[in-house]
Amino acid sequence: MKITFQGAAGTVTGSQHLIEANGKKILLDCGLFQGKRKESFEINRSGLCQGEEIDALVLSHAHIDHSGRIPCLVRNGFSGDIFCTSATRDLCAVMLMDSAFIQEKDVEYVNRRRAKKGQRLFEPLYTRADASRSLEQFVGLNYQRPHELFPGIRLTLVDAGHMLGSAHVILDIDDHDTGKIQRLVFSGDIGRPDIPIIRDPQPLREGADILIMESTYGDRLHPPYPDSEKELKRIVTETVNQGGSLLIPAFAVGRTQQLVYALHRLHSAGAIPDLPIFVDSPLGVATTDVFRMHPEVFDAEIREFLLSDDDNNPFGFGRLQYTRTVEESKALNSLKAPAIIISSSGMLEGGRILHHLRNRIGDPRTTILMTSWQAPNTLGRKLVEKQSPVRIFGEEFEVYARVEVLTGFSGHADRDGLVEFVRVMEKKPQRTFIVHGEAESSANLAKTLGDELGITGIKLPGAGQTFFL
């Protein structure tokens, strides 16, 4: 058996790991690399998109940095099955089509500039037709229902508690070369307990022989979720009191729904001023509809909400409006009274949020609230680091708006949560590979696992590195 780390190795984005066993090649995740545009453009068009030799793909969840290269893989020859949960499949049906639309529009914009200079034109990484075709290869599996991928290789998905449909991936492999049966666990993104909407991550008490583990927050702790709601209350109230609006860049899947639910709770309790709240993201609207379709993955509190009348719907209440059209979105820029605008993308690398940001970033009454991890070189990271000026649509803008950061809404386990994920394993892994983290975060997690749990054989793989097991 061997493992090649093709993405999210030494970085947080572009998750993609190749397992070779019993003559089969199984890809774990197939994500887009996100970051500096030129670098992302080149990496996403590299050989990692070649699919002819891949026999099967297992997808941990639907976030684009885990799923966003699937249409490219299919376009380049992959014809096997894509295994994931049914909720992940339904989210990908929306998200991959949206990603393809962005690929087409981005290349269209770049090609207009290149054509004027007489330069070679680019093809999109993939098109909406490619995304649609890839959806035909998805196979939805339920949690805890073992499935034989190939002779001697059995797949089981376990609820990871990170987002709708997210899974820990378990591969039980009867290795024909060694005669050994080994359990390989790919953590995917590990969720946090005690946050609303999604069920808590399920512990893998049996453990693993080989562990591929994320480390996004391997060197940081999150504040308790109730503290984050209190901070959200403070930020909303202070912004309204100074006559400004609150802009919240948010990923369309997971973070948008969390924020809507938190604001619903605060509004219902009379804890925040009575002001309009807008979700200005077509993808956010569409994925919220997918959330409604899958009550089987929600915690008990939200399931009760969903089964009651519309007044108690966690994703809709009196002051909340979902904007769908371009005209409705543009109208938000003329608002004079305070409002809350939630819009994608979460890292400010595209989407409608950029228009709202350009319109309000120079207003000191405006607050920009960052609630997600921000990749290096993204506009979101520059704002978190208090850089000014910043470039939006090619123009420079001085940042006069206030920038606030709340990490308590994160769907990722923090350092203690990551350690606990391994601590509960009765059989500790003999080989552990730390991925999906910046260098300092991954190194800190590796040291903590060694110091606190005595885990040995820990590796921090680099991009393209192969290990024989």
CA–CA gap between residue 223 and residue 406 (Å, rounded): 9
Q: What is the amino acid identity at position 45? A: R
Where do you find CATH 3.40.50.10890 in the chain? 225-405
> What is the phi-psi region of residue 71: left when phi exceeds 0, alpha when psi lies from -120 to 50, beta otherwise?
alpha
CA-to-CA dists, residue 205 to 37, 159, 162, angstroms:
41, 13, 18
For 164-203, the pLDDT digits (tens) are 999 999 999 999 888 899 999 999 999 999 888 889 999 9
Tokens 């819009």 belong to residue: 343
> What is the phi-psi region of residue 148: left when phi exceeds 0, alpha when psi lies from -120 to 50, beta otherwise?
beta
* Per-residue confidence (pLDDT) for residue 269, from 0 to 100: 87
Structural contact between residues 11 and 39, judged by C-beta atoms closer than 8 angstroms: no
Nearest Cα to 253, choosing from 276, 284, 278, 222? 284
Fold held by 2-220+411-468: Metallo-beta-lactamase; Chain A (3.60.15)
CA–CA gap between residue 14 and residue 3 (Å, rounded): 16
Cα 167 to chain centroid distance, Å, stands at 13
Dihedrals phi, psi of 326, to nearest 5 degrees: -60, -35
* Per-residue confidence (pLDDT) for residue 312, from 0 to 100: 58
CA-to-CA dists, residue 290 to 79, 88, 271, 305, 441, angstroms:
26, 10, 29, 16, 33
Q: Any residues with CB less than 8 A from the CB of 330 and at least 6 apart, and which?
A: 355
What is the architecture, at CATH level 2, of domain 225-405? Answer: 3-Layer(aba) Sandwich (3.40)
* Per-residue confidence (pLDDT) for residue 309, from 0 to 100: 45
* Per-residue confidence (pLDDT) for residue 149, from 0 to 100: 97
The structure tokens listed for 418 are: 């990551």
Helices and strands (H, E) in the chain, number of each type: 14, 22
* Per-residue confidence (pLDDT) for residue 319, from 0 to 100: 79
List, for the chain, all residue ranges whose pLDDT scores fall below the cut of 50: 309-310
Vertex 34 angle, CA 73 and 289, to 5°? 75
CA–CA gap between residue 208 and residue 168 (Å, rounded): 12
Q: Any residues with CB less than 8 A from the CB of 113 and at least 6 apart, and which?
A: none
Where do you find CATH 3.60.15.10 in the chain? 2-220+411-468
The structure tokens listed for 142 are: 């339920």
* Per-residue confidence (pLDDT) for residue 442, from 0 to 100: 97
* Per-residue confidence (pLDDT) for residue 313, from 0 to 100: 63
* Per-residue confidence (pLDDT) for residue 136, from 0 to 100: 97
* Per-residue confidence (pLDDT) for residue 342, from 0 to 100: 94
Q: Helix (H, G, I), strand (E, B), or coil: what is residue 453?
A: helix
